[in-house]
Structure 1
Amino acid sequence: MLTDLPLLERPAAAAQAGFDAVEFWWPFDSPVPGDREVDAFLRSVAEAGVRLTGLNFYAGNMAAGERGVLSSPSRSAGFRSSLDTAAGIARLTGCRGFNALYGLPEEGVSATARAGCAVENLAAAADAVAGLGGTVLIEPLSGLPGYPVRTAADGLAVVGQVRAAGRENAALLADFYHLAVNGEDIPSLITAHAAAFGHIQLADAPGRGAPGTGSLPLAEWTNAAVAAGYSGLISLEYKGTSTEAFTWLAQYRDAAPEQQP
């Protein structure tokens, strides 16, 4: 979202739109950014007056199409080297949600080896943020042929493997857009698992636009998730520029009852 703005201007844009919390993909080009880069990022969040509540772990070159490196043995060292930075940001901001993208298959590496590598790296990530109250989030993705984690069952299986390795701070990230595009039965998923979701993200389909631009009953699903026991944050992750990203919210805010003191 807000990709027409420089990254460090986006927290202020979110604040101007009325939000008090933001989340980011890994906001640096490398797994181990310099102190000045980290300080500039932290300053942009603090000066905007918003909370950082979600952060992707280092996931490779997202702009070039990479979607995670934790299942790639050749990239494990880079992933592990980023964990201190992620934990440091969490310590300074109170961030508690950390999305760990599984990664596309590495050529020449068996599925068994990739899965073992992923669990080892996820366990390390869980250890890095456990003492800060952090949760490692596993997100099924759409639109990526060959991506190993596409369904809720795929994601829950990975969560189960991490917990079997002795780390309890792992959970499913339910992005309703990705799951719906991949054919998931969202109402059944909510009924069975919403209380254990680690996080929810929203975008409409088709098109991955703002709520109301597609055909997904996002309000119905989010209400159902809360009714089924979900108590976490619900975030927006759709395609939208700074001039149009939040225009859809006006009708909902106008219709909402005034909050009582």
Structure 2
Amino acid sequence: MGFADQRFSVNLSILFTELPLLERPAAAAAAGFTAVELWWPWADSPTPERSELDALRRAIEDSGVRLTGLNLYAGRLPGPDRGALSLPGEESARFRANIEVATGFAGSLGCTALNALYGNRVDGVDPDEQDALALENLVLAARAADGIGAVLLVEALNERESPDYPLVSAPAAVAVVDKVNAATGLGNARFLMDLYHLAMNGEDLPAVIAAHTGRTGHVQIADSPGRGAPGTGTLPLERLLDQLAEEGYGGWVGLEYKAGDRPGARAFDWLPAAARAAR
């Protein structure tokens, strides 16, 4: 087994960022990849102009790559925000307005995974109130995702980089997944297992994989420390991905790391060209 047996998707919101967004799908294709994923590309707008959506859709289609994952509106990302769905008031309303737009865009490209970042805790607001709002919005998103045959992902982040984000362990994120599935009866809420964030939280990654692969809908990787390419840190990523496969995970592995001083195609020197095209 090993890296050559995985199905990799390039996150175009953190890689190829030296290029304009509309040029990144073609750059990923030129580097040998056939799948890409994205954070919500319009941080200031949950409902961008149709022309902007159409331009990005054409860029993806014309490049010949497949969109395998898309974040729902999450506020300023990269930036201080970590999602909007648990924030009362305007941001929650913006998240709800985004659901139809994002699912429509994803569905038009055959994308079957939507990631809903939970959002930071808000000073002066009861956490139970935020959690109730989060469940309400996640249920709406899960139903919309089901309408296009997609899963809804819930992600744990790391406490060091996201100190106000409440889901900072695999069990915390999986508990939310279970609540959403219980509320909808659809079973399409899934855990997004980001090995970098979990490692930064000090979790036992083999134990997490053994316990939660069955509820996992997507995996993302970066090495730790540093959030760089595999091989730049200390995580045994090849071995961990092998364990995931042994536990039955056959989905996409998102490359969500920083290129550092090796931008462009050089950011993928660790991965043989023959292993980049998903089979």
Normalising by the smaller structure, the TM-score range is over 0.9
Q: Indicate which of 45, 52, 55 corresponds to 2:67.
A: 52
Equivalence map 1:67-216=2 (5 Å): 67-74=82-89, 75-142=91-158, 143-166=161-184, 167-216=186-235
Determine the structure 1 residue equivalent to 2:50: 35
Deviation, structure 1 residue 36: 0.6
Structure 1 window deviating more from structure 2 (106-115 vs 52-61): it is 106-115
Within 2, Cα distance between the matches of 1:121 and 1:180? 28
One-letter code aligned to 2:93:
A
Determine the structure 2 residue equivalent to 1:63: 78
Determine the structure 2 residue equivalent to 1:15: 29
SS in 1 for 2:32: coil
Structure 1 window deviating more from structure 2 (43-52 vs 188-197): it is 188-197
Tell whether the 8 Å contact from 1:195 to 1:231 is kept in structure 2 after alignment: no
SS in 1 for 2:78: helix
**Structure 2, unaligned stretches of length 5 or more?**
1-14
One-letter code aligned to 1:124:
L
Deviation, structure 1 residue 189: 1.2
Tell whether the 8 Å contact from 2:174 to 2:215 is kept in structure 1 after alignment: no
Q: 1:113-152 deviations in whole A, cap 9, x for unaligned?
A: 0100110110010111102111110111111112101100
Runs of 4+ in structure 1 off by over 4 angstroms are: none
Deviation, structure 1 residue 236: 0.5
Structure 1 window deviating more from structure 2 (51-60 vs 100-109): it is 100-109
**Structure 1, unaligned stretches of length 5 or more?**
none
One-letter code aligned to 1:71:
S
Within 2, Cα distance between the matches of 1:8 and 1:184? 37
Within 2, Cα distance between the matches of 1:129 and 1:157? 19
Paired-residue identity, %: 50
Within 1, Cα distance between the matches of 2:179 and 2:211? 19
Deviation, structure 1 residue 25: 0.3
One-letter code aligned to 2:251:
G
SS in 2 for 1:249: coil
Q: CA RMSD in A?
A: 1.5
Q: TM-score, normalised by structure 2?
A: 0.88
Within 2, Cα distance between the matches of 1:149 and 1:131? 26
Q: 1:179-238 deviations in whole A, cap 9, x for unaligned?
A: 011011110111122132110001001100000010000000001001111121111100
SS in 1 for 2:242: helix
One-letter code aligned to 2:176:
V
User: Which of the pair has the greater relative contact order for Cα pairs under 8 Å at 6+ separation?
Assistant: 2
One-letter code aligned to 1:176:
L
